[in-house]
Amino acid sequence: MVRDNPGSMVVMSTHGRWGFARWSEGNVTHEVVRSSEAPVLVIPPHVEV
């Protein structure tokens, strides 16, 4: 877990949904960003790494 590893960060991608789809399915990314004690890097959909 992130809290067990100081200096860690969370990296996650979004689905890129907006409006009703976002509301009806919930928004995991939003909740992680809001509640995480560690920095969170959010990558938009369709980004090649």
Domain-embedded: residue 35: yes
Domain-embedded: residue 21: yes
The answer, yes or no, to whether residue 24 has pLDDT greater than 60, is no
Mean pLDDT of 12-18: 75
Domain-embedded: residue 49: no
Q: Using alpha carbons only, what angle is made at residue 13 by residues 9 and 26, rounded to the nearest 5 degrees?
A: 105
The domain in which residue 24 lies consists of 2-43
Domain-embedded: residue 27: yes
Q: How many structural domains compose the chain?
A: 1
Q: What percent of the chain has pLDDT over 70?
A: 73
Domain-embedded: residue 32: yes
Domain-embedded: residue 11: yes
* Cβ atoms < 10 Å from Cβ of 10: 15
Note the pTM of the prediction, 2 decimals.
0.65
Domain-embedded: residue 48: no
Q: Which pLDDT does position 44 carry in this prediction?
A: 81
The answer, yes or no, to whether residue 25 has pLDDT greater than 60, is no
The answer, yes or no, to whether residue 19 has pLDDT greater than 80, is no
